[in-house]
Chain A
């Protein structure tokens, strides 16, 4: 069994993000980068499938600049077997990432492609879905639980949807995107970190994949969210209900 896991390099979610004054991007000076937390959950799930289902090869893939090596090394230190870095300078829009992954799926022939449900930097939440469409595979998005059949020919994915949980069953190969409650990722152990240096990390220029790289989305401007306003104190429950009805218009 082979599991391909997509890994994105994103700013540390605990860092304070500042938008450049001209709105062309964020201030990256001294900004710490980490593995996208949802991708980390996807790596952990792939490793658990490997450990609990009699072995599997876990292959990490990232699309981006050379520095994405750092995040792939983190995943290798967690226990993944090898990694592929598709090199491309600058921002790569989701549809190009999906095309690159589709091309690698052709080459690697995995049984499962695991992704985070979204990246915490652009919150696009589309790569998994687009990849499933391109490959014509089943998809279990927003997974909070993944169960494989005994013969590993199908998977039941519990999805977190509005108002509850939904179980979907799909034949493998399939696309699964990880939600927050799927698992709690492990931290890289010292032996894992030492082993990671010896694991294969292959680099492929994006141009070598022969995919359509035409840009379809252009970001014109970034702006910080409005500052949170102070709340309002009310004296009585009746006053609260009135305000919710007349001012907030939520009831």
Chain B
């Protein structure tokens, strides 16, 4: 399978990276660790929207670009690399394609045009997540409840803030007991299918962000290891440091093809998509948590301080590793798929015999 991205993919990735390096600096991220109504978060969101990321998967008649997960994966990695605050995955990769697949043009006109321009932020509450991340910034929340899918405008949401280890990813308990026929947008098999797809897409988008988070953690640690000197030479010259970082980089490089395959499986609606997504999520989570641990070790005591920016990505790695299903949950799905025979057992080109 050819995982080569086109020149346009690379150019858009560079655009997103350039914008986020300029606008989403660690200083800016820290200022956004405030309650949601700080206007700064909307400004940053709007700048990312101007590049076209949020409407990528929306249909053209709703102001979108009718693209798929293969087109979305590189920009999502960049949002992870920048520790971009806000429900990027839930909006661009989950809620938008859910409304697209629902096919209700009135709903699409009402919500998706605003998403593409950045004026509207959508979220998605799924049973895989006990709490809803960034629910305080959304204009509407799609909620999968049993075999029904509801859409709650923000003024009908009752949120209770919960403590979270990542201040850039605020968690909320959402009371959806007010769900009624007015908020219900799908039911039965259609809703079940949309909710199942949402889990795959949420796990895929989170895996993409985890790969970006992992790479940024390694890059920060490498920069530190080339500057910090001990025994008269940079600490990165010692095998105890460089071999540990190389091991993490190998994990990242192994996670990338899993992620790209998951993107392709989702885009082509392959039968193996759920297992492919789960393998990608477990691999990306493993790479990111290893990157967090190793980067902290490389930094030593300074890595524990509030002033050190390393915490931004370490906490994001830990929180995203648990979002949209833990590594254990996803490994379980891969195991089920192999045992059921519904998914060919594949890993790095080896076929099970």
- Interface residue ranges of B1-56 to A (CB < 8 Å): 7-8, 11-12, 15-16, 18-19, 50-53, 56
Q: At the interface, yes or no: B335 with Cβ under 8 Å from chain A?
A: no
Most B-side CB within 10 Å, residue of A187, A189, A191, A193: A187
Q: Specify which chain A residues have a CB less than 8 angstroms from the CB of B7 in the assembled complex.
A: 70, 73
- Interface residue ranges of A177-204 to B (CB < 8 Å): 187-191, 193-194, 197
Q: At the interface, yes or no: B322 with Cβ under 8 Å from chain A?
A: no
Q: At the interface, yes or no: A125 with Cβ under 8 Å from chain B?
A: no
> Which A residues contact B (CB, under 8 angstroms)?
70, 73-74, 77, 187-191, 193-194, 197
Q: Specify which chain B residues have a CB less than 8 angstroms from the CB of A188 in the assembled complex.
A: 11-12, 15, 51
Q: Are A189 and B51 in contact (CB under 8 A)?
A: yes
Most A-side CB within 10 Å, residue of B19, B51, B65: B51
Instruction: Describe B's contact surface by its main secondary structure.
Output: helix
Most A-side CB within 10 Å, residue of B7, B16, B52, B65: B52
The 9 closest A-B CB pairs, nearest first, are: A190-B52, A187-B15, A188-B15, A187-B19, A189-B51, A189-B52, A193-B8, A193-B11, A187-B18
Q: Specify which chain B residues have a CB less than 8 angstroms from the CB of A187 in the assembled complex.
A: 15-16, 18-19, 51
In the bound complex, how far is the Cα of B15 from the Cα of A191, in angstroms?
A: 12
Q: Are A189 and B11 in contact (CB under 8 A)?
A: no
- The size of the chain B interface, using a CB distance under 8 A, is 14
Scan B263-274; emit 1 where CB is below 8 A from any A CB, else 0. Answer: 000000000000
In the bound complex, how far is the Cα of B74 from the Cα of A190, in angstroms?
A: 12
In the bound complex, how far is the Cα of B10 from the Cα of A188, in angstroms?
A: 12
Q: Are B11 and A74 in contact (CB under 8 A)?
A: yes
| 12 A-B residue pairs with CB within 8 Å | A77-B11, A187-B15, A187-B16, A187-B19, A188-B11, A189-B52, A190-B15, A190-B56, A193-B11, A193-B12, A194-B8, A194-B65
In the bound complex, how far is the Cα of B7 from the Cα of A197, in angstroms?
A: 10
Q: Are A193 and B65 in contact (CB under 8 A)?
A: no
Write the nearest CB–CB distance from A196 to chain B, whole angstroms.
Answer: 8
Most B-side CB within 10 Å, residue of A73, A190, A191: A190
In the bound complex, how far is the Cα of B65 from the Cα of A188, in angstroms?
A: 15
In the bound complex, how far is the Cα of B299 from the Cα of A208, in angstroms?
A: 59
**Shortest Cβ distance from B49 into A: residue:** A189
**Shortest Cβ distance from A186 into B: residue:** B50
Write the nearest CB–CB distance from B50 to chain A, whole angstroms.
Answer: 6
Q: Specify which chain B residues have a CB less than 8 angstroms from the CB of A190 in the assembled complex.
A: 12, 15, 51-53, 56, 65
Write the nearest CB–CB distance from B225 to chain A, whole angstroms.
Answer: 16
Q: Specify which chain B residues have a CB less than 8 angstroms from the CB of A193 in the assembled complex.
A: 8, 11-12, 15
Q: In the complex, given contacts A77-B11, A191-B65, what are 4 additional A-B residue pairs having Cβ atoms less than 8 angstroms apart?
A: A73-B11, A77-B15, A187-B18, A193-B8
In the bound complex, how far is the Cα of B11 from the Cα of A70, in angstroms?
A: 9
Write the nearest CB–CB distance from A110 to chain B, whole angstroms.
Answer: 27
In the bound complex, how far is the Cα of B52 from the Cα of A77, in angstroms?
A: 13
Write the nearest CB–CB distance from B127 to chain A, whole angstroms.
Answer: 32
Q: Specify which chain A residues have a CB less than 8 angstroms from the CB of B52 in the assembled complex.
A: 189-191
In the bound complex, how far is the Cα of B11 from the Cα of A197, in angstroms?
A: 12
In the bound complex, how far is the Cα of B18 from the Cα of A77, in angstroms?
A: 14
**Shortest Cβ distance from A187 into B: residue:** B15
In the bound complex, how far is the Cα of B103 from the Cα of A147, in angstroms?
A: 49
Q: Specify which chain A residues have a CB less than 8 angstroms from the CB of B8 in the assembled complex.
A: 193-194, 197
Q: Specify which chain A residues have a CB less than 8 angstroms from the CB of B51 in the assembled complex.
A: 187-190
Q: Specify which chain B residues have a CB less than 8 angstroms from the CB of A70 in the assembled complex.
A: 7
**Shortest Cβ distance from A70 into B: residue:** B7
**Shortest Cβ distance from A188 into B: residue:** B15
Write the nearest CB–CB distance from B206 to chain A, whole angstroms.
Answer: 22
Scan B49-83; emit 1 where CB is below 8 A from any A CB, else 0. Answer: 01111001000000001000000000000000000
Q: Are B65 and A189 in contact (CB under 8 A)?
A: no
**Shortest Cβ distance from A197 into B: residue:** B8
In the bound complex, how far is the Cα of B19 from the Cα of A190, in angstroms?
A: 13
Q: Specify which chain A residues have a CB less than 8 angstroms from the CB of B16 in the assembled complex.
A: 187
Q: Specify which chain B residues have a CB less than 8 angstroms from the CB of A191 in the assembled complex.
A: 52, 65
